[in-house]
Amino acid sequence: MNVLFIEDDRMNRRVVRDMLDVAGANMAEAENAELGLEMIDRGEYHMILIDLRMPGMDGITAIRHIRARGDEKAEVPIIVVTADSGVDLRERCLSAGADDVIVKPVAMDQLFEAMGRILAGDRGGAIIG
């Protein structure tokens, strides 16, 4: 499984990479949304993990760009991984096109539960955290 993690914090990327390594997944990483969108153009990913707050383009805007594509890459599952915890967080993420939301700090069981649920076809967007 190829996963793209779009996250500006290097330590957060490393923690998630270590978790995905346990599952045998390959993780590509982008330190900002613009680079992430370029990587989606060039690569094939089975799932995208994305932070909301990054320098430059934010995660919500990036999700909208991904979903607006006119190709199969617009349908790749997206999980928001964020430290945000606002009242309308779930609604904002889902309306932008996210499939699920995980609140940092990310725990391995939470990440795998969200990924498994989405891969099983449940793209209902529960907040985990």
Report the distance separating Cα 83 and Cα 118, nearest Å: 21
Q: How big is the CA angle at 80 (ends 78 and 81), to the nearest 5 degrees?
A: 135
42-87 pLDDT, tens digit per residue, is 999 999 999 999 999 999 999 999 999 999 999 999 999 999 888 8
Name residue 33's amino acid.
Answer: A
The token duo for 26 is 């390959």
Domain range summary for the chain, segments of one domain joined by +: 2-123
Q: Are 36 and 50 in contact (CB under 8 A)?
A: yes
pTM of the model: 0.93
88-114 pLDDT, tens digit per residue, is 998 999 999 999 999 999 999 999 999
DSSP state of 129: -
Give the SS3 label for residue 47: strand
Domain 2-123, architecture per CATH? 3-Layer(aba) Sandwich (3.40)
